[in-house]
């Protein structure tokens, strides 16, 4: 183990002197995620809030056919604007989120007691327009119900006959779980941080060392190759964990600048999260370091290693996407799968939920076993003759 430690200390010292590596590990890796996230969430949230509070500007075609309806909408803080000549086109070109069209027959139908039709022109695929459409729908339905109730009363009937079933919604989501949903992508940033933090090291200690022609003299020393590899892996893991730690701290600070209170959300990014998060991330960082080193050892050159490791960066996105798109209920077996276990555990930590310690130990042990397996495979590659010899 002493030789592994010597290799570790030397690699740490050497790489701390490399500006590019240091910037990657200490700045780009940890900060890119939080910055992106804060920017994104802030824009999204403030736009949503703005829309909910600000008067809704609504282009209306044929407003003159339904003065009462228009007045009712105005009372709902909807600002009526003259409609465009071509409603469909205005929506397609995103000049308007939604257009209300009142046909000339509206008054006639209304007076005869028939359902009077109004048209909403909108584009469902425009996410941005959805809140405007929903608000307008709500206002129109409210108006229809009020009018309907009045007509029933005029005929001596209780409006209750129209409501055989009343739905009362009991939303079980807590502020924590709502933030978990929205912040489900957060664990990916930590896993990505681990990959970015280890990448430069994994390349430098293998393909880089060979390309600089220093691997052959190194292997001439009376030290088993498995120990040299262990030292190099420890360095990569240490840098990658540093990136993860810094990115957790950065997220903790960044979350203070998020209008989470306005959304009624609660993010648990405190010391407790950092400690538990580091616990589940440590074996994963070792596993990823092993994989990166294995790939880089196969590569013939620094450049080739960079290309392959760039592709490897997309692998952790797979469980993230699966878990975000498919609403999985966290199951115990998921903790046993490296990457997925960390994803599930980190998401639950963020939501402030308790994860029982058995599941955490399962996550730690299984990922550690996977890391050891990768270490043994990589050390086999390290024993091959071709490894040391630069082309």
Among the residue ranges 131-139, 176-184, 215-223, 344-352, the one whose residues contact another protein (CB under 8 A): 215-223
DSSP label at 243?
H
Tokens 């040391």 belong to residue: 388
Q: Is 18 in the site for another protein (CB under 8 A)?
A: yes
Of the pair 97, 209, the CB lying nearest another protein is at 209
Among the residue ranges 5-13, 34-42, 308-316, 317-325, the one whose residues contact another protein (CB under 8 A): 5-13
Q: Is 10 in the site for another protein (CB under 8 A)?
A: yes
Q: Is 215 in the site for another protein (CB under 8 A)?
A: yes
Contacting residues for 51 by C-beta, under 8 A, at least 6 apart: 131, 132
Among the residue ranges 62-70, 213-221, 296-304, 309-317, the one whose residues contact another protein (CB under 8 A): 213-221
Q: Is 221 in the site for another protein (CB under 8 A)?
A: yes
- Exactly one of 85, 161, 220, 311 binds another protein (CB under 8 A); which one? 220
Sheet with 78-82: strands ordered across: 78-82, 56-61, 98-101, 119-122
Tokens 């077996």 belong to residue: 333
Q: Is 213 in the site for another protein (CB under 8 A)?
A: yes
Of the pair 104, 222, the CB lying nearest another protein is at 222
Q: How far is the CB of 202 from another protein (least distance, A)?
A: 17
Residue 174, SS3? coil
- Phi (first) and psi of residue 101, to 5 degrees: -120, 125
Rounded-to-integer distance, Cα 201 and Cα 236, Å: 5
Tokens 């810094």 belong to residue: 246
Cβ neighbours, 10 Å, residue 337:
16
Cβ neighbours, 10 Å, residue 333:
11
Rounded-to-integer distance, Cα 107 and Cα 242, Å: 70
Q: How far is the CB of 386 from another protein (least distance, A)?
A: 10
Among the residue ranges 147-155, 218-226, 243-251, 293-301, the one whose residues contact another protein (CB under 8 A): 218-226
Among the residue ranges 14-22, 70-78, 341-349, 356-364, the one whose residues contact another protein (CB under 8 A): 14-22
Rounded-to-integer distance, Cα 70 and Cα 140, Å: 10
- Exactly one of 68, 214, 307, 331 binds another protein (CB under 8 A); which one? 214
Of the pair 182, 388, the CB lying nearest another protein is at 388
Q: Is 212 in the site for another protein (CB under 8 A)?
A: yes
The number of residues that bind another protein (CB under 8 A) is: 28
Q: Is 1 in the site for another protein (CB under 8 A)?
A: no
E strand spans, the chain: 56-61, 78-82, 98-101, 119-122
Q: Is 6 in the site for another protein (CB under 8 A)?
A: yes
**Strand 56-61 vs strand 78-82: parallel, antiparallel, or unpaired?**
parallel
Contact between 99 and 59 under an 8 Å Cβ cutoff? The reply is yes
| Site map 327..366 versus another protein, x via CB under 8 A | ----------------------------------------
Rounded-to-integer distance, Cα 213 and Cα 120, Å: 70
Of the pair 13, 74, the CB lying nearest another protein is at 13
- Exactly one of 12, 118, 149, 219 binds another protein (CB under 8 A); which one? 219
Q: How far is the CB of 18 from another protein (least distance, A)?
A: 6
Of the pair 46, 214, the CB lying nearest another protein is at 214
- Distance between alpha carbon 278 and the CA centroid of its chain, in Å? 19
**Spatial CA neighbour of 184 closest among 303, 350, 381:** 350
DSSP per residue over 42-107, as a string? HHHHHHHHHHHHSPEEEEEESGGG-HHHHHHHHHTTEEEEEPPS-HHHHHHTTS-SEEEE--TTHH
Rounded-to-integer distance, Cα 293 and Cα 376, Å: 12
Of the pair 2, 127, the CB lying nearest another protein is at 2
Of the pair 210, 348, the CB lying nearest another protein is at 210
Q: Is 217 in the site for another protein (CB under 8 A)?
A: yes
Looking at residues 361 to 390 of the shown chain, list those that interact with another protein (rule: CB under 8 A).
385, 388-390
Q: Is 3 in the site for another protein (CB under 8 A)?
A: yes
Q: Which residues bind another protein (CB under 8 A)?
A: 2-3, 6-7, 10, 13-15, 17-18, 209, 212-224, 385, 388-390
């Amino acid at each position: 183990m002493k030789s592994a430690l010597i290799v570790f200390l030397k690699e740490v010292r050497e790489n701390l002197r490399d500006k590019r590596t240091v910037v990657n590990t200490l700045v780009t890796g940890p900060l890119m995620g939080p910055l992106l996230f804060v920017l994104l969430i802030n824009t999204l949230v403030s736009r949503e809030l703005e829309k909910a509070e600000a008067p809704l500007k609504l282009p209306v075609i044929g407003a003159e056919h339904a003065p009462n309806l228009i007045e009712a909408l105005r009372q709902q803080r909807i600002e009526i604007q003259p409609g465009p000549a071509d409603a469909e086109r205005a929506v397609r070109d995103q000049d308007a989120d939604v257009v209300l069209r009142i046909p000339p027959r509206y008054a006639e139908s209304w007076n005869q007691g028939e359902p009077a039709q109004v048209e909403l022109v909108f584009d469902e695929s425009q996410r941005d327009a959805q809140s405007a459409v929903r608000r307008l729908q709500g206002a129109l339905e409210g108006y229809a119900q009020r009018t309907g109730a009045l007509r029933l009363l005029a005929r001596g009937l209780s409006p209750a006959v129209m409501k055989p079933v009343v739905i009362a919604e009991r939303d079980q989501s807590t502020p924590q779980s709502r933030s978990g949903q929205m912040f489900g992508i957060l664990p990916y940033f930590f896993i990505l941080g681990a990959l970015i933090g280890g990448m430069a090291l994994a390349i430098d200690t293998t393909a880089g060392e060979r390309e600089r022609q220093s691997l052959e003299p190194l292997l001439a020393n009376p030290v088993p190759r498995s120990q040299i590899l262990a030292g190099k892996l420890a360095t990569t893991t240490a840098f990658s964990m540093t990136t993860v730690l810094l990115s957790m701290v950065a997220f903790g600070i960044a979350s203070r600048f998020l209008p989470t209170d306005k959304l009624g959300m609660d993010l648990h990014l405190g010391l407790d999260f950092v400690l538990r998060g580091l616990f589940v991330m440590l074996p994963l960082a070792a596993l990823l370091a092993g994989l990166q080193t294995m790939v880089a050892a196969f590569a013939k050159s620094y450049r080739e290693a960079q290309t392959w490791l760039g592709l490897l960066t997309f692998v952790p996105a797979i469980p993230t996407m699966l878990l975000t798109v498919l609403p999985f209920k966290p199951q115990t077996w998921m903790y046993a799968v490296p990457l997925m276990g960390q994803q599930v555990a980190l998401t639950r930590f963020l939501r402030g939920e308790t994860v029982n310690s058995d599941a955490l130990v399962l996550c730690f042990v299984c990922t550690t076993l996977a890391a050891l397996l990768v270490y043994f495979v990589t050390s086999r590659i390290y024993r091959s003759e071709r490894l040391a010899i630069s082309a």
